[in-house]
Chain A
Amino acid sequence: MRFRNLQELIEVCNKESKTISQIMLEDQAEESGQSVAEITAVMAEYYQIMKTAVHKGLTEEITSTSGLTGGDAKRVEEYRRSGQPSAGDIACQAMAYALAVSEVNASMGRIVATPTAGSCGIIPGVFVSAQERFGWDDDHLVRGLFSAGAIGYVIANNSFISGAEGGCQAEIGSAIGMAAGAMVELRGGTPEQAVHAVGLALKNTLGLICDPVGGLVEIPCIVRNGFGAVNALAAADMALAGVRSAIPSDEVIDVMLEVGTAMPSRHRETAQGGLAQTPTGRKIMKELRARKK
Chain B
Amino acid sequence: MRFKNVFSIIGPAMIGPSSSHTAGAVRIGRFARQLLGEMPGEAKICFYGSFAETFKGHGTDLAVVGGILDYPTDDERIRHSLQNAEDMGVELQFSTGVAPGAHPNTVKIVLSAGEKRSEVIGASIGGGTIMIRNIDGFEAKCSGELPTLVIAHADRQGVLAGITALFSRENVNIGFIITDRKGRTAEALTMVEADSAIPENLIKAISALPHVSRISSIHLT
Contact = CB atoms under 8 A, between A and B. Distances in A.
Interface of A: 1, 4, 24, 28, 31-33, 39, 42-43, 45-46, 49, 64-66, 104-118, 120, 123, 145-146, 148-150, 152-153, 156-157, 160-165, 170, 178, 212, 214-218, 265, 268-272, 288, 292
Given A49-B74, A162-B20, 13 more contacts: A46-B11, A65-B17, A112-B14, A116-B18, A118-B17, A149-B6, A162-B105, A162-B126, A216-B17, A217-B21, A269-B20, A269-B50, A269-B104
Main SS of the interface on chain B? mixed
A160 B23 CA distance: 17
Contacts of B103: 164
Given A107-B16, A217-B17, A271-B53, A152 B10 contact: yes
Contacts of A116: 18-20, 126-128
B10 A292 contact: no
A115 B10 contact: yes
B8 interface: yes
A218 B16 CA distance: 11
B interface, how many residues as a size bin? Answer: 35 or more
Contacts of B151: none
A118 B19 contact: yes
B105 A292 contact: no
Contacts, number: 177
A111 B125 CA distance: 19
A31 B16 contact: no
B124 to A, nearest CB: 8
B128 A113 contact: yes
B20 A109 contact: no
B9 A105 contact: no
Contacts of B196: 33
Contacts of B126: 115-116, 156, 160-162, 164-165, 170
A271 B54 contact: yes
Interface in B1-41: 1-23
Contacts of A65: 17, 59
B195 interface: yes
Contact of A269 (B7, B13, B54): B54
Nearest to B2: A157
Contacts of B79: 108
A260 to B, nearest CB: 11
B5 A28 contact: yes
Contacts of B12: 112-113
Contact of B14 (A107, A113, A162): A113
Contacts of A24: 6
A194 to B, nearest CB: 15
B49 to A, nearest CB: 7
Contacts of B57: 66, 214-216, 271, 288
A149 B9 contact: yes
A166 B53 CA distance: 17
Contacts of B54: 212, 214-216, 269-271
Contacts of A120: 16, 19
B5 A117 contact: no
Contacts of B21: 217
B141 interface: no
A286 to B, nearest CB: 13
